[in-house]
A and B are shown apart, each in its own frame.
Chain A
Amino acid sequence: MKTKPISPVMSSRYLELRDLTISFSTPRGRYTAVKDVNLMIARGEIVSLIGHSGCGKSTILNAIGGLVQPTQGEVILGGVKIDAPGPDRGIVFQHYSLLPWLTVYQNIFEAVDSVMNDKTKAEKVELVERFLQMVGLSEHRDKKPRQISGGMKQRVAIARAFAINPEVLLLDEPFGALDALTKTSLQEELINLWGLENQTKTVVLVTHDIEEAILLSDKIVVMTNGPEATIGEVIEVPLPRPRNKRDLVRMPGYAEIHERLLYLLMDAFAVQKKLAA
């Protein structure tokens, strides 16, 4: 575990993307997904990456997760360069990525058991139990993923990511595949979990949902379109917390942020329409 103490000077640039460029080789040649991305994220901040499909937002998230290597530039976390996945980062994937042959309990336990080598078996069990309870899945602990709903699967994935007690939580369109009601309740659960952990966790979230971004974030990073996507604009969300979906729309300042985001996504960085007929 590479966790260095964070000096106060560094706290505003706890997680830093420096000149990040990521390209892949494809059968049709080199494809540059993101180019020259520079971003600073403070400790405890919740930041959304928003943009159209193919704008490289997931690529950036994977680079922070250490799952994708930058072609140029670097990702710095707490003063240390990231080059591999690590226990300091917990990832929630778009398609849940639960192992179908393991139960709900085992899915969380395997991650905890793998990451927390310094804990005893009893401590690990207790930890898993606690997070199962936090996401309300204690009753379903012995079910296999195929026996539970999409919302429950994503709860398991969130519990798994939280349970390893990472400093940074990375969420890749976590609620994208869920229906509107489940989505709302999970968004609020996520805020609650984050609150329970004393708001010390840094969260980076990929989304294409404007309301979700405003509800959850301190800062919204709007991406331009790919290829060679980069940061178009960073919008601060100074709305007071706690926020909930119902009151959010009536908060002063909400409309303005919403308008701006809509403008950026629909006009400034709109997907070019080839057919006007």
Chain B
Amino acid sequence: MAMKEQAITSTLQPSAQSRWFSLASLVETLKSASASFLYTLIGFSLLLLLWGVISGLVGNSLPGPLATLKTLWQLVSDPFYDNGPNDKGVGLQMGSSLLRVFIGFSLGSLVAIPLGVIIGGTPLFRKVLSPVVELLRPVSPLAWFPIGLAVFKHAGEATIFVIFITSLWPTVINTAFGVGSVPEDHKVVGRAFGFSRWRYLRRVLIPYSLPHILTGLRLSLGVAWLVIVAGEMLSGGMGIGFFVWDSWNALNLERVISAIILIGVTGLLLDRGFEIIARKVRYEN
């Protein structure tokens, strides 16, 4: 909120003052950025310290930060090598997982958004479909894996199917909520000026619910990234989840922990990237 207001006032500044203003605000920005960087640094230092102490206490069963970071460096310095099906670079594994998430999430969103609009917009469909959604939503998406296998016959497609299912619920629920909560003030504009169904959808319903839809999509993407790791542990063959499981089978915990770090970073980047896109299309009331 504060950032938005800042943006508005800065655009309203007369040009004569703008240089001073931007210089001052640049200094402010740098200050707050360096402060938050410092806090982040402290947090990670504490984590590394704790990790080092624990691995020192338990001996060889948990690799320490130094050994792990060395492995991590090896993994990232040559991410795209390919020595056959059981030995691929971590970049290739990550790429494969991202592709599956992207496909499953896109397909899921294509189904979830219209479904959410229908549920939120028509009381009859809400009454009919809400119980179904409520029942299926708490089910772990991994429980759908066998169904995916039975239908698609391949583990890769089954994993995408699991991601598809995962991506449905947050988007359906948030879209339905957004569509269902269009204020009377906005609806009445459409009625008073005889908006066609299509115009109402495009000019009232979608713009109003867009922030809710985006929240749903963001949650869906987050959960999809959580689930892909577990999904690929089941499906095997390819992907960062498989990489984790494969490394465990090789009793290489340095690789497992490195993968955890990489999965975390990738998830964070996905979320931030999505937020940047979302901010562009969101209206401010």
By a beta-carbon cutoff of 8 Å, the part of chain A in contact with chain B is 65, 67, 85-87, 91, 93, 95, 97-102, 110-111, 113-115, 144, 146-147, 160, 164
Contact = CB atoms under 8 A, between A and B. Distances in A.
B204 to A, nearest CB: 7
B6 to A, nearest CB: 15
Contact of B193 (A100, A111, A146, A147): A111
Interface of B: 8, 185-186, 188-189, 191-196, 199, 203-204, 207-208, 283-285
Given A93-B185, A110-B199, A67 B193 contact: no
Given A85-B192, A86-B194, A87-B194, A110 B185 contact: no
B195 to A, nearest CB: 5
A97 B185 contact: yes
A160 B284 CA distance: 22
Given A87-B194, A99-B207, A100-B285, A114 B188 contact: no
B191 to A, nearest CB: 5
Which of B8, B193, B194, B203 is the most central at the interface, judged by chain A CB atoms within 10 Å of its CB?
A: B193
9 contacts: A67-B188, A67-B191, A93-B188, A97-B185, A98-B189, A99-B207, A110-B199, A114-B196, A164-B193
Contacts of B193: 85, 87, 110-111, 114-115, 160, 164
B12 to A, nearest CB: 10
A102 B189 CA distance: 13
B186 A97 contact: yes
A146 B283 CA distance: 10
A144 B207 CA distance: 14
Contact of A146 (B192, B194, B204, B285): B285
A120 B82 CA distance: 61
A96 to B, nearest CB: 8
Given A93-B185, A97-B185, A99-B186, A85 B194 contact: yes
B282 to A, nearest CB: 9
Task: Name the 7 nearest CB pairs between A and B, nearest first.
Answer: A101-B283, A101-B207, A111-B193, A91-B192, A97-B185, A100-B285, A97-B189
Given A93-B188, A113-B199, 17 more contacts: A65-B192, A67-B191, A85-B192, A85-B194, A86-B194, A99-B204, A100-B283, A100-B284, A100-B285, A101-B208, A101-B283, A102-B203, A111-B189, A114-B194, A114-B196, A115-B193, A146-B284
A111 B199 CA distance: 10
A110 B191 contact: no
Contacts of B207: 99, 101-102
Contacts of A98: 189
A93 B187 CA distance: 12
B17 to A, nearest CB: 20
A207 B192 CA distance: 20
A218 B284 CA distance: 42
Which of A97, A98, A113 is the most central at the interface, judged by chain B CB atoms within 10 Å of its CB?
A: A97
A86 B195 CA distance: 10
Given A101-B207, A102-B203, A67 B192 contact: yes
Nearest to A91: B192
Contacts of A67: 188, 191-192
Nearest to A87: B194
A110 B285 contact: no
Nearest to A107: B189
A93 B192 CA distance: 10
A42 B189 CA distance: 27
Contacts of A85: 191-194
Contact of B189 (A99, A113, A115, A147): A99
